[in-house]
Structure 1
């Protein structure tokens, strides 16, 4: 297991935000992050009792080869202070709630990595509330549905990550559906090299992907999507409002890609987020592509030293079976 950054270093950073009178009393590394370190820092001597620190140190990112990613590729691993700040500004301009930024620093003078200190929305995730407080979760889910409506209706003539588009850049590929097809074929190749069951069905899955892709009609406008919007990436604040986290991958893209992910991650709760008018041909292609991504991605992550290995194995196994079930 790799050594994560020394937590004592966070004390000075937090005092820069909350004032010299505050004292750090505890630091907890929060579970789940695979691209950045997420720390809850508890303090006294300040009106705020805790803050969250994001650290984009290289040793906090468990994805192999992430630092070689091309920002023009919408599916490249999104990580870093710059895409985070761009996404936060973009969401804030639309009135979509994300944690408030208290300090951001890419100078590496305060701390030996790019960092951001943000407000601590410590009530819990929507995923947790589904189990512990269904009534509160239902209200937050309605709030989330209103937020995704705002995002998905915010159209742009080009697709791509927000940090790229803000700089006037152009994403790779000729269309969203062709990008998804290319990524799915690559995921299929990787998964086939790691699992004999996928390898045995490789030809059938490849033919199915091409067959679904040719049925998709061209499109010229793209909504704003989170990209990985599961209930674990939605916090609920003290007022019951939904708050989006892990926002670095925010991009303009086909909203069907988001809806496929929402359907998979929200399960029985998805009807509150479902909307009419989605393209069924895109949904069919994107569902198979998403399943293959959720096989190849976890298996790829397990090539490294990601600590929660059992959960990654479980994700890969479940989606492998679901991908094979989509074959005619």
Structure 2
């Protein structure tokens, strides 16, 4: 049975961040996190109604076998204070909106885990606003489109996670397309081992992935991408601006990877975020690879005790059907 942060733990963290005079009125663990705990802490006497506390305790991580992430694999589940702060700095420097960091501790000594206190953006997610306030959502989507263009124009000569490159590290592999292929083949193995329908077309999918990879030409410049930029990872602030969250996986990579994810998650609203001139061959390879990832990843997560199991099964099933539909 997992145990999450208790009220007294959160109180101690918030008082270190904001001072002993603030009073904790209540705290809620927010749904959806699979790599870190996200808590909204309501306050009195602090000059702000609430803050968000991130906890990267091992108990908060539902992904099996991901405790030793060194960042060399761009697609390893990114988690921890170091990648979060690196991403927060990079995005802030180029003018993208992210929650302000009010306090952080990466020593692990005082609280048993990396923790950060950040500003609370109370406007809700863009995903929720699409349903509850379409006009406000449309304004935020326009702002998000500008942010995406800003990020993708910000380029580097090497690919990899921002925190890795910041400390002079080198990513695995010799190209984005090869990293994607290698990961897709691993995902294919995992998915085939968990679902007979993928196993029955395993050879065809393997051949298709290698065929698509062979068509992709080398590239030497890479844009800044979020990696999982769905409308659930965008908050909307009081000014109607899009604020990016869950940013630990921020990296320089082929922007086609991001656009494939954007098209999957935003659906009919994707044209507002689209960009002309993308590499069609990369898009074909990355679409097949991402669909497989969205089968294998959720099934892997379900090996553990992730609580929202029907939701995760639904993601796996939808993307399994889409993967099969991509076969010629």
SS of 1:52's equivalent in the other structure is: strand
Q: What CA distance in whole angstroms lies between the structure 2 residues aligned with 1:223 and 1:207?
A: 29
Residues 158-169 of structure 1 aligned to structure 2 (within 5 Å): 158-169=158-169
User: 1:124, 1:235 within 8 Å by CA — same for their partners in 2?
Assistant: yes
The answer to whether 1:247 aligns with 2:247 is: yes
* Post-superposition CA distance 1:51-96 (Å, at most 9, x none): 0000000110000011133411101110000000000000000010
**What is the aligned partner in structure 2 of residue 237 from structure 1?**
237
Q: CA deviation at 1:259?
A: 0.2
Asked if the contact 1:159/1:171 (under 8 Å) is kept, the reply is yes
Q: How much has 1:108 moved relative to structure 2?
A: 2.7
- Count of paired positions: 328
1:171 alignment counterpart = 171
C-alpha distance in 1 between matches for 2:96 and 2:57:
27
Structure 1 residues 1-328: aligned runs within 5 Å: 1-328=1-328
Q: Deviations over 1:140-188 (max 9, x none)?
A: 0010010110100011000000000001111010100010001001000
Cα shift at 1:112: 1.8
Q: CA deviation at 1:265?
A: 0.4
Alignment partners' CA distance in 2, 1:66 and 1:203: 28
Counterpart CA distance in 1 for 2:326 and 2:7 is: 46
User: What TM-score do the two structures reach when normalised by structure 1?
Assistant: 0.99
The 1-side partners of 2:160 and 2:7 are apart by 35
TM-score normalised by structure 2 residue count: 0.99
Distance 1:58 1:287 in 2: 32
Deviations 1:231-287 (A, max 9, x none): 000000011000000000000000000000000000111000001010000000000
Deviation at 1:201, TM superposition (A): 0.7
Aligned counterparts of 1:111 and 1:28: Cα–Cα separation in 2: 18
Q: Provide structure 2 residue ranges, at least 5 long, that are not aligned to the other structure.
A: none
**Is 17-26 or 177-186 further displaced after alignment?**
17-26
Determine if contact 1:181/1:209 at 8 Å carries over to the other structure: yes
Structure 2 CA distance, aligned partners of 1:318 and 1:311?
11
